[in-house]
Structure 1
Amino acid sequence: MASTKQKGSNAWIYWMIGIILAGAILIVVLDRQLGGDEGSSSNGETELSYENQPFIGEESAPVEIVEFGDYLCPHCKTFEESLVPRIKEAFVDTGKAKFYFMNYPVIGQGSERAAQFAEAVYQELGKDTFWEFHKHLFELQPEDASLVDYNKDFFKQALQDVVDDEANIEKVVTAYDEGMKDAVQTDKNMAQSLGVQSTPTTIVNGKVFEGETFADLEKRVEEAMNESE
């Protein structure tokens, strides 16, 4: 017959094994709830939805280039001012690609508000006005984002700089007040499913672009054109 001491030791071992198993099960469940591989295809690619997203370029262009960006991100401002004109000249104006901007606000509450207000501009006034406002928001970005209170009054004034019609401005403000969280969350979900961790991140035909130079991007776009044929 086992001693009382042995019984207590065995019970402790069974108890620890139970805790370890329960922990393993919990990790699996949490991984599934937080996304895991959900949304990814079997070859590791993720399907982006371009529906109702602002773009420049011809609808028939064979390649989709996406920037995931944040209006408070200084690197995104540099991307907007230095690289977007080159992307437009090399790929958009030549009919090779469409260029999209999708939101990935990561810096803070101001980023989230900016993304939502820009979405409201797009939804209410269309893509042409959106791109004007988009560019102007980056122009207004200070060297120190903490110096600006990115609130509704700030965005309204920014919109007044590019839109004359007060009725249209109020339409945007009303849409913003009613909520654009779902539209922004859609963009964030796609970014996260692709593994985007920083801004700006460039996507070419559904794949994260990992090159380092503009020549690398040109090569990737040519490859994407061939893939789409």
Structure 2
Amino acid sequence: MAKRHYKFVVILGLLLVIFIAFGIYKLYSNEQEQKNAKDPEVVLEKQNNFIKEHHYLSEGKSNEIHVVAFTDYRCPHCADYHKNTKSKMLQKYIDNGTIKYTELQYPVIDKASKKYEIMSLVLQKHGTIEDFKTFSDKSYQSSSVDNDPVKTLKRVDLNDKEEKNMIDIYKNNPPKSNKSQIKNELKVTSTPTIFVNGKYIKDTNVLEDAIKQEIDN
């Protein structure tokens, strides 16, 4: 009887040790995952891989500083960002080769937002960076009026063959939305969301300072 009791206590003790060890391991693993999720180098690597995998176009040629923005053409705050920050401040850094800039659509406003995302994916895969830039400009200006990316596409200076090809792809063989993957893999939940070399920028007012810090590093 005493031996059975002793074995029971030993087994119980071993199980308790295993349970505690497993708990410590899980706690450490979760802390490490959270740390990695916020590590700018890890974030940037994930973003770069995602951009390459899904054929997003980038402006600028710099490999040292990469600004990645997640926007929605139908988001008023994104339209303000495009007009007052991207066009007025970021563009000079793009044009002089200081930064590379990639903008990904993350539809959040309404169903039309997703339609505009799909058309942007078509343009990036079958058009040029200049076509995409023009479409983006027109979308921020008129998407709330057009409510249809086909109408907005027709405002882009494409030849008839290019325009017809893109509209046919959009209507008959559209790419899938990347919204769920962006949310799950890149942890984006709202727009505009902006990163500089994997570092999350909470306020566009400090975006230029963040770029200058990367230049000085």
Regarding TM over 0.5, the answer is yes
Structure 2 residue aligned with 1:180: 175
Query: Structure 2 vs 1, CA of residues 92 and 191 (structure 1 numbering), >3 Å: closer, same or farther?
Result: farther
Q: Secondary structure at the match of 1:68?
A: strand
Q: Is the 8 A contact 1:66 1:202 kept in 2?
A: yes
Specify which of 157, 176, 184 is matched with residue 163 of structure 1: 157
Structure 2 residue aligned with 1:208: 200
Structure 2 residue aligned with 1:55: 58
Aligned CA RMSD, in angstroms, stands at: 2.7
Question: Deviations along 1:193-223, whole A, 9 cap, x unmatched?
Answer: 443222111111122112452xx22231133
Query: Structure 2 vs 1, CA of residues 42 and 68 (structure 1 numbering), >3 Å: closer, same or farther?
Result: closer
Q: Is the 8 A contact 1:69 1:104 kept in 2?
A: yes
Q: Distance between the aligned counterparts of 1:129 and 1:212, measured in 2? A: 26
Q: Distance between the aligned counterparts of 1:93 and 1:119, measured in 2? A: 23
Which 5+ residue runs of structure 1 have no aligned equivalent?
1-27, 29-36, 143-147
Q: Is the 8 A contact 1:194 1:208 kept in 2?
A: no
Specify which of 96, 99, 102 is matched with residue 101 of structure 2: 99
The total of aligned residue pairs comes to: 177
Q: Is the 8 A contact 2:94 2:101 kept in 1?
A: yes
Query: Structure 2 vs 1, CA of residues 167 and 74 (structure 1 numbering), >3 Å: closer, same or farther?
Result: same
Q: Distance between the aligned counterparts of 1:92 and 1:165, measured in 2? A: 27
Give % identity: 22
Which 5+ residue runs of structure 2 have no aligned equivalent?
1-25, 27-32
Query: Structure 2 vs 1, CA of residues 92 and 170 (structure 1 numbering), >3 Å: closer, same or farther?
Result: same
Structure 2 residue aligned with 1:199: 191
- TM-score norm. by structure 2 comes to 0.71
Query: Structure 2 vs 1, CA of residues 189 and 82 (structure 1 numbering), >3 Å: closer, same or farther?
Result: same
Structure 1 residue aligned with 2:214: 224
Q: Secondary structure at the match of 1:141?
A: helix
- TM-score norm. by structure 1 comes to 0.68
The residue identity in structure 2 corresponding to 1:205 is N
Q: Is the 8 A contact 1:48 1:190 kept in 2?
A: no
